[in-house]
Amino acid sequence: MKLFVGLGNPGAKYAQNRHNIGFMALDRIAQAHGFAPWRDKFQGQVSEGRLGREKIILLKPQTFMNLSGQSVGAAMRFYKIPTQDITVFHDELDLAPGKCRVKIGGGHAGHNGLRSIHQHIGPQYQRVRLGIGHPGHKDRVASYVLHDFAKADAVWLDDVLRGIVDGAPDLAIDEASRFMNAIARRLAPARSAKPAPKPQPDTPAPNATPAADRRSPLQKLKDRFS
């Protein structure tokens, strides 16, 4: 059994915020892979299902971002899931939009959701870092992450979420590279091979000089009346 956690803030006001990409990822997984309906538990919303042979608990903390660790810690203790079997999906300012990286352990880099999780279960859990880009100055970060994705982001965002759905079964069995490849394929699908050109019939080129007639006068006369 493994626990997938998506980070975000509860309520319709925040639903399309950049900060809520973790919620978006879990919603897509639940819908595409036939998970059970969401229910309230552990100060969050929980859904259960399977990815391949692996049982997965999905958790969206409803405590607001800076208290996410309370919900994660409660679910972890209830299901007796070790830290290394917890994966957290979250927005990442230090990655370009559409980029994805998977890592285990490390610091929280100022992310309030990760900071809270560190406080409750420690740092040795897996993270799926979903790039949203940086606004350019630290003073603009709070406003940036709490605003909706721009219309121009719609295409790459949908591709990333589709890739997460495709790769989720690989992530469930600790195949992080295959999971990231699934996202990369959605962002840059392989181009189909161009069909070979059809053979063209042998036709004389326009304005081509006709071949010289090498028949004898007698042969020309014979051909004329034959």
Q: Catalytic: 19?
A: yes
Centroid of chain to Cα 58: 17
Q: In sequence order, which residues have a C-beta less than 8 Å from that of residue 111 and are 6 or more positions away? A: 90, 91
Hey, what are 143's tokens? 């406003």
Q: Which residues pair with 58 in a beta bridge?
A: 4, 47
Hey, what are 109's tokens? 């880099």
Task: Spell out the SS3 assignment of 131-176.
Answer: ECCCCCCHHHHHHHHCCECCHHHHHHHHHHHHHHHHHHHHHHCCCH
Contact 38, 31 (CB under 8 A): no
Hey, what are 80's tokens? 């007796």
Single out the residue of 46, 125, 51 nearest to residue 90, CA to CA.
Answer: 125
* The one catalytic residue among 19, 33, 90, 111: 19
Catalytic residues, by residue number, are 19
